[in-house]
Structures are given as structure tokens and as C-alpha cells.
Amino acid sequence: MRRGATRDNANGGTQLLDTAVQHPARRDDRTSERDRFAAIRRESEALAANLTPEDQAIQSMPDASPTKWHLAHTSWFFETFILGPLDRGYRVFDPAFVYLFNSYYEAVGPRHPRPERGLLSRPTVDVIGAYRDHVTTAMLRLIEGADAAVWREVAPRLELGLHHEQQHQELILMDIKHVFSVNPLLPAYQAPRPYALPSTAAPGPGWVEFAGGLHEIGHAGPDFAFDNEGPRHKVWLDPFRLRSHPVSCGEYREFITDGGYRHAEFWLSDGWATVQQQGWQAPLYWRQEDAAWRLFTLAGERPIEPAEPVCHVSCYEADAYARWAGKRLPTEAEWEVAAAGVALAGNIADSRFFHPCADPAPGTGEVALRQMIGDVWEWTASPYVAYPRFRPVAGAIGEYNGKFMSNQMVLRGGAAVTPGGHIRTTYRNFFPPSARWAFSGLRLAEDI
Ligand SMILES: [Fe+2]
């Protein structure tokens, strides 16, 4: 994904991309692959469609990138790793783009500094649109026309490139939200959409218990996964409980009201130092007006909704809240064991809310895990490190995930801005513990 301290969701690797996936794609249906490619490319453009060229050029902080950079970089991926090496008839759109739109691949060559992406008034949005069309047309021709031997090389790279583009779709929304949030006009990305409040019959938050013992986590099987999701391996867990729901805005407001941001005893040392340095008093995008809290969303600013999951908290804040509540964050192994069997459905980008929603489920009287998928990425207590026997591949594609395995924490479950088809219970997102611009929240755990 994203990062300097943060990953950038680029992938790449000259001759190496097919090893980026644990189980390279074995899709033989060219028609469905062509249609899927076209649909994912269109979706990126649809996300940018209600932004002006001025909106698309702004970089509001070093971690975030301009919309038009995302649109170009995702095209650079297909051009650099598929069309260039595998399509003999391909004509490079502009040789300068290799430098401008490489994100972090040392093996590919030098690149434009990440913090300076917002200085690129040229190429214009229109030129980047033409670049996208050029790459999309060439890719469609290649998907349809590649002979069997070439297709075997193209297919796994295409799979990775599509997942890469979907990662950047989430980043487009994260980053434009930050851009708009620093504009005193507080522009809205989209019109507000009515959201359902919980039925009065909905079961309130409760606890769901899980047995200890020997479990397995990690990806296995023929479907796509990033390399960092494997190998599948055994873990030992003590018995634990998970909260049925993510922590809500109303619950988190109690932490604020109780002086949570003023008492060092709730905070990790680095977290407390960050609170002091940054002057944090509430989650990112929260603003106090008189006695009430308002929050900025992609549909503009409005009062907080107490029942909806709290979002845009750092790992430090998530940990401090859990400590204040007398609980803790789950480990990523606990989260994944608990999530086994949950449906890969929820409030994700396909719902078009682009914001976490309160659980609208009608009550059944039964307490169960809710909102594991979608709404907010859930911080875990687990550092982002390699699973046992993980070995990054050589070359550029080994840079995709492996080189970011320090000083970051794992998040699970996807968020309201995560594209459909791009979330798994084994998916390991990661950010530095101080990061708040992802759609990140938390769920409590405790020992039994
Ligand atoms: Fe990327």
C-alpha cells in the first residue's frame, strides 16, 4: 500500500511477478478476465469522476498521494510489468513516466520523491486519462490475443495488477478525504446517503468466546493471496473472548470525556509522546463544537453517530482505549481464528457509503460476531512481521510486502472503502502505529 514509513501498494518486479502470489492465477477464461480487468479499471475512473482536476492534483501530506498519481501509477504497473516485458508490439506511452510513477521499487530504478507527488501539475489529468486509455486498450488486446505461452506469464501478473489497482482505489478515497479535510470549506466527495440506525430489537454488544489450543492461520489454497498472508502455520492460543461489535463512537466518546487523552497511564510510551507532540484530543476528523462532537466524512461534516464504529484512530489510541476499558486488542491470530467462516460481506466500498455504519441487523437475541468484514479495519496487538518460513522472493516483487516488516502493526477485516473481492479473513493490512488516515477502528478482546 503506501509508505515511506508506509507502504505504497505498488507491486512489481521485472521477471518476478508471478512469484508475488502464493498460488498464481490459473484462469483460462479470457473473456471473464478481460471483463474483470475492464471493470476494475473503470471503477478507478469512476472514483475520480466527481473530482475536479484541482482536487486530483493535491497532496495534503507526505503519506498521501494525489488522485491523478494513483490513476497513473496503477497504469504504470501494467505497463512496466506486463506490457513492456510481454507484449512485443507495445509502444511505451511516455518514457518519463517510468520515473514519475514508480512508487518504491528500488529494483526498477530511481523515482520521483514521494513527498513531492503533489508538485506535479504536469502531466495533466487529461494526459493521465489518455495514458490510462492507452494502457487499458493494450491490455485488453493482450488478454484477448496472447498465445498460450505468453498468457501463462500474463495471467498471474494480471491477477496481481488487479489486486494492486483495488488497493489504490481504497487509497484514492483515504487520500481525498484527507485533502478535503484540510480545506476550510470542508468539501464533500459525495452527497450524504441515509444510513440505517440499529433496530431496537438488535442485540446489544456482547462477548463471543473461543477455545484455546492449537489452531492454524494463514492463507492456503488456489485462490489469490499476497505473499505476506502465508505460509499457513500453527499457532497456540489461550481461550479468549472477542467483543461482538467494533468499539462505537459513543463508547469512544466516553473515553474522551473521562480524560483518556490527558492521562498517561492509559498509553504506551510512544503513544503518549505522540499525543503530546501532535496535540491529539480525539480521533482524526473529529471536531468539538460547543459541547458536541462533529466528524468529517466523505459526505461532509456532521454530528457523530454514537452507534457507528469509531474510525480514524491510531493503534496507540486503540490500545489506550482498550487499556482504559480494562480490556486489550486481539492478536491477529485471535482475530483470524475468530473470523474463520464469517461471510465475506459487509459494509465495503460496494455499498457506496464510504463510511462505517451502525449494525442495522434485526435482533435474533443471539450474540454473534458482527461487522468483522468491512466498516473499519481493526487494529490488532500484532506487529507486522513474517510468518514462520516466509521468504520474500528475489528482485522487485519481493519489495511488495517483505521490506515493510518493521515498525508497523497489523489490521484486519477491511473497511467501508475496501473494494469488493479485495478482502479475505487472512488479509494482513499494516500501518505504523501512529497512522490515522486509514479507515481504522478497533474491537476489544479479553482473556478467559
Ligand atoms: Fe502501488
What does the alpha-carbon distance between residue 163 and residue 159 come to, in Å, rounded to a whole number?
6
Q: Which three cell numbers stand for residue 148?
A: 498460450
Q: Please say if the pLDDT value at position 3 is more than 60.
A: no
Query: How remote is the CA of residue 98 from the centroid of ligand 1, in Å?
Result: 13
Distance CA 434, CA 238 (A): 29
pLDDT value of residue 12? 29
> Rounded distance, CA 352 to CA 330, Å?
29
d(C-alpha 98, C-alpha 77), whole Å? 10
Average pLDDT over residues 126-133: 98
Would you say residue 124 has pLDDT above 70? yes
> Could you tell me the end-to-end alpha-carbon distance of the chain, in angstroms, rounded to an integer?
35
> What is the mean pLDDT of the segment spanning 58-71?
98
Q: 440-441 and 233-237: which strand pairing?
A: unpaired
Asked whether the beta carbons of 56 and 125 are under 8 A apart, the reply is yes
pTM score of the predicted model? 0.93
DSSP H stretches of helix in 182-248: none
Closest CA to 412 of 389, 434, 384: 384
Give the pLDDT mean for 164-176: 98
Other CB atoms within 10 Å distance of the CB of residue 254: 14
pLDDT of residue 202 exceeding 90: no
**Does residue 59 or residue 222 have the better pLDDT?**
59
Nearest to 100 by CA among 124, 83, 136: 124
CA of 39 to the centre of ligand 1 (A): 19
**106, 94 Cβ separation under 8 angstroms:** no
Neighbours of 231 (CB within 10 A): 15
pLDDT of residue 13: 27
**Distance from residue 392's CA to the centre of ligand 1 (Å):** 17
Q: Which of 108-117, 364-373, 412-421 has the lowest mean pLDDT?
A: 364-373
CA–CA separation, 440 vs 189, rounded Å? Answer: 19
Ligand 1 centroid to Cα of residue 99, in Å, is 14
Compute the distance from residue 165 Cα to the ligand 1 centre, in Å: 7
Sign of the dihedral through C-alpha 419, 243, 430, 354: positive
Cα(288) to ligand 1 centroid in Å equals 36
194 or 38, which is more confident: 38
The mean predicted confidence, pLDDT, of the chain is 91
In DSSP terms, which residues pair with 328 in a beta bridge?
Answer: 445
Confidence of residue 198 (pLDDT cuts 50, 70, 90): low
Under the banding of pLDDT at 50, 70 and 90, the label for residue 203 is low
Give residue 100 CA to ligand 1 midpoint distance, Å.
Answer: 13
The whole-number average pLDDT for the span 202-210 is: 86
Q: Count how many residues are written for the chain.
A: 448
- Cα of 390 vs centre of ligand 1, distance in Å, is 22
**pLDDT of 197 higher than 90:** no
For residue range 299-335, what is the model confidence (pLDDT) as tens digits? 999 999 999 999 999 999 999 999 999 999 999 999 9
DSSP bridge partners of 209: 241
382/361 Cα distance (integer angstroms)? 30
Report pLDDT digits (tens) over 330-386. Answer: 999 999 999 998 999 999 999 999 999 998 775 567 789 999 999 999 999 999 999
Average pLDDT over residues 234-249: 97
Does 20 have pLDDT greater than 50?
no
Quick one: angle between helices 30-48 and 148-181, nearest 10? 20
Q: How many angstroms separate the alpha carbon of residue 380 from the centre of ligand 1? A: 24
pLDDT band per the 50, 70, 90 thresholds, residue 27: low
Grid cell of 319 as nine digits: 490500545
Question: Which pLDDT score is estimated for 224?
Answer: 92
The model's confidence at residue 106, banded by pLDDT at 50, 70 and 90, is confident
Higher pLDDT, 19 or 110: 110
**Secondary structure element (H or E) that encloses residue 71, with its range:** helix 67-78
The answer to whether the beta carbons of residues 25 and 17 sit under 8 Å apart is: no
Q: How far is the CA of 332 from the centre of ligand 1 (A)?
A: 24
